[in-house]
Amino acid sequence: MTNEGNLSALLPLLIFMGFMVAIGFWVRRQSVGKNFVQTYFIGNHDLGGFVLAMTTVATYSSVSSFVGGPGMAWQIGFGWVYMAVVQVTAIFLVLGIFGKHVALLSRRFDAVTVVDIIRERFQSDGLAALSAFIIVLFFCGTMTAQFVGGAKLFATVTGYSYEMGLLLFGLVVVLYTSIGGFRAVAITDTCCAVMMMIGIALLLYYVLEAGGGYTAIMDNIHMNHPEMLEPLSAGHMPVGLYLTQWLLVGICTIALPQSVVRGISYKDTKSLHRAMLIGTVVVGFMNIGVNFTGILAHGVLTGPLSEYGGVDYIIPKTIVAALPPALVGFAIIGPLAASISTISGLLIVASSALVKDVYLHHVEKQGRQVTEKRLRVLSTAATAVIGVIVFIIALTPPSLIWIINMFAFGGLETAFFWTLLLGLFWRKANRLGALLSMGGGTFAYCLTQGMGFKFMGLHQIVIGITVSLAFFLLGSFLGKPQEERVLNVFFPQRPQNWNQKVEENEMEAVCPLGGDKNT
Q: How far is CA 498 from CA 486, 502, 503, 504, 518, in A?
A: 21, 6, 7, 11, 16
> What pLDDT is recorded for position 506?
39
Q: Backbone dihedral region of 310: left (phi > 0), alpha (psi from -120 to 50 degrees) or beta?
A: left
**What is d(CA 475, CA 473) in angstroms, rounded to the nearest whole number?**
6
Which CATH fold would you assign to the domain 3-24+47-239+265-397?
Answer: Sodium/glucose cotransporter (1.20.1730)
- Cβ-in-10-Å burial (0-12, 13-18, 19+) of 168 comes to buried
Q: Backbone dihedral region of 498: left (phi > 0), alpha (psi from -120 to 50 degrees) or beta?
A: beta
Beta-bridged to residue 458, according to DSSP, are: 455
Under DSSP, the state recorded for 86 is G
> What pLDDT is recorded for position 34?
64
> What pLDDT is recorded for position 476?
94
This prediction has a pTM of: 0.79
Closest CA to 381 of 351, 401, 404, 416: 351
> What pLDDT is recorded for position 1?
43
Helix, strand or coil, per DSSP, at residue 102? helix
**What is d(CA 519, CA 511) in angstroms, rounded to the nearest whole number?**
8
Residue 395 near residue 166, CB atoms below 8 Å: yes
> What pLDDT is recorded for position 384?
81
DSSP 3-state percent helix, strand, coil across the chain (nearest 5): 80, 0, 20
Beta-bridged to residue 266, according to DSSP, are: 47
Neighbouring residues of 405: CB distance < 8 A, sequence distance ≥ 6: 62, 64, 68, 141, 142, 145, 146
Q: Backbone dihedral region of 160: left (phi > 0), alpha (psi from -120 to 50 degrees) or beta?
A: beta
> What pLDDT is recorded for position 121?
92
Closest CA to 283 of 247, 259, 265: 259
User: Alpha helix locations (H) across 267-371?
Assistant: 269-296, 314-322, 325-331, 333-354, 361-365
Residue 5 near residue 165, CB atoms below 8 Å: no
**What is d(CA 443, CA 448) in angstroms, rounded to the nearest whole number?**
9
> What pLDDT is recorded for position 173?
81
- Residuewise pLDDT in 10s, the chain (519 residues): 444 446 666 788 888 888 888 888 888 777 765 666 666 666 566 778 888 888 888 777 776 677 778 888 898 989 888 888 888 888 888 888 888 888 888 888 777 788 889 999 999 989 998 998 898 888 887 788 778 777 877 887 777 888 888 888 778 888 888 887 777 878 888 888 888 888 888 889 999 998 889 999 999 888 888 988 888 888 888 887 788 878 777 788 888 888 888 778 777 888 888 988 998 898 888 888 889 998 999 888 888 888 887 787 888 888 888 888 778 777 778 777 777 777 777 777 788 788 877 877 778 777 787 777 787 788 778 878 888 888 787 777 655 555 676 788 888 999 999 999 999 999 999 999 999 999 999 999 999 988 888 887 777 888 999 999 999 999 999 999 988 888 888 888 765 444 444 333 433 434 443 344 333
